[in-house]
């Protein structure tokens, strides 16, 4: 995703910033995690743009402030813009010198792995999709559905296979050869466990993914953020609505 050209560069796929409209509509971006954090509807593709580095995580009684160094995604960023950190869509509160800050509400900390980050940790970063860009992965909202744990890692000659525990409430949305976002990375499910009480899925990581994302180094026991395919949730909702009217 290149920079803007001319006076009016290509727009990213998002509603106008909060300061540009009135009244504000709270909760449009990070509704699945914490309504207070974002007030723009951003869409991501799960194609990580940059490996960032955590500078600080300042903890408060019911929230936190996360500061991340990421010169690429920070270039041109301003307060109110959206950036996905390990798959969680957050709103930029300030940006300077190649780093940006974002507030993280308690609900997000409990649903995702952001609260466990420490200074120096690597994170996957992605800006919202642009209207003129290809959809290289799949539609990712940045609304994390839960977390999984890396169970196993098998190395091949040029790729790795990673097995991840799948929380039972999410199992019905995951299908073999379907899409899932793991720490904000758009991946294809290559294998799927059949035990509903001990569910798991596997993803196969090519050299590009290993080199450019956090999954290149995560080992068994590590926590990852999971977002299932939104289409599956819409289909389930529509089917249940139809049954209730019949």
Residue 26 clears pLDDT 90, i.e. is over it? no
Q: What are phi and psi of 216, to 5 degrees?
A: -65, -20
CA angle 216/136/215 to nearest 5° reads 10
Distance of CA 25 to the CA centre of its chain: 22
pLDDT given at position 5: 36
For the chain, the average pLDDT equals 84
pLDDT, greater one: 24 or 148: 148
pLDDT given at position 244: 59
Nearest alpha-carbon partner for 78 in 99, 94, 101, 90: 94
d(CA 19, CA 59): 27
In this prediction, residues 90-101 reach a mean pLDDT of 96
Counting Cα atoms < 13 Å in the Cβ hemisphere of 180 gives 31
Digit-coded pLDDT (tens) for 102-149: 999 999 999 999 999 999 999 999 999 887 777 778 889 999 999 999
Counting Cα atoms < 13 Å in the Cβ hemisphere of 57 gives 16
What separation in angstroms does the CA of 236 have from each of 72, 139, 194, 239?
38, 17, 20, 5
Q: What are phi and psi of 10, to 5 degrees?
A: -60, 135
Counting Cα atoms < 13 Å in the Cβ hemisphere of 53 gives 6
Rg (Cα) of the chain, in Å, rounded?
18
Residue 4 clears pLDDT 80, i.e. is over it? no
Digit-coded pLDDT (tens) for 149-177: 999 999 988 899 999 999 999 999 999 99
In this prediction, residues 219-243 reach a mean pLDDT of 89
Q: Which of 2-11, 176-185, 195-204 has the highest mean pLDDT?
A: 176-185
């Amino acid at each position: 995703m290149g920079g803007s050209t001319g006076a009016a560069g290509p727009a990213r796929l998002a509603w106008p910033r909060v300061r540009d409209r009135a009244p504000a509509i709270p909760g449009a971006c990070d509704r699945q995690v914490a309504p207070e954090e974002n007030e723009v509807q951003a869409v991501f593709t799960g194609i990580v743009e940059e490996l960032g580095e955590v500078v600080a995580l300042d903890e408060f009684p019911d929230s936190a402030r996360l500061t991340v160094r990421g010169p690429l995604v920070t270039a041109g960023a301003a307060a109110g813009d959206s950036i996905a950190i390990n798959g969680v869509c957050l709103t930029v509160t300030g940006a300077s010198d190649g780093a940006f800050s974002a507030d993280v509400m308690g609900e997000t900390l409990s649903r995702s792995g952001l609260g466990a980050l420490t200074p120096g940790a690597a994170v996957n970063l992605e800006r919202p999709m642009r209207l003129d860009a290809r959809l290289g992965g799949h539609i990712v909202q940045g609304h994390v559905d839960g977390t999984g744990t890396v169970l196993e890692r098998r190395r091949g000659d040029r790729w790795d296979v990673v097995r991840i525990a799948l929380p039972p409430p999410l199992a019905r949305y995951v299908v073999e050869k379907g899409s899932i976002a793991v720490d904000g990375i758009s991946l294809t499910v290559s294998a799927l466990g059949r035990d509903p009480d001990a569910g798991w899925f596997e993803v196969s990581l090519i050299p590009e993914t290993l080199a450019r994302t956090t999954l290149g180094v995560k080992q068994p026991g590590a926590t990852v953020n999971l977002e299932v395919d939104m289409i599956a949730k819409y289909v389930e909702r529509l089917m249940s609505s139809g049954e209730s009217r019949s």
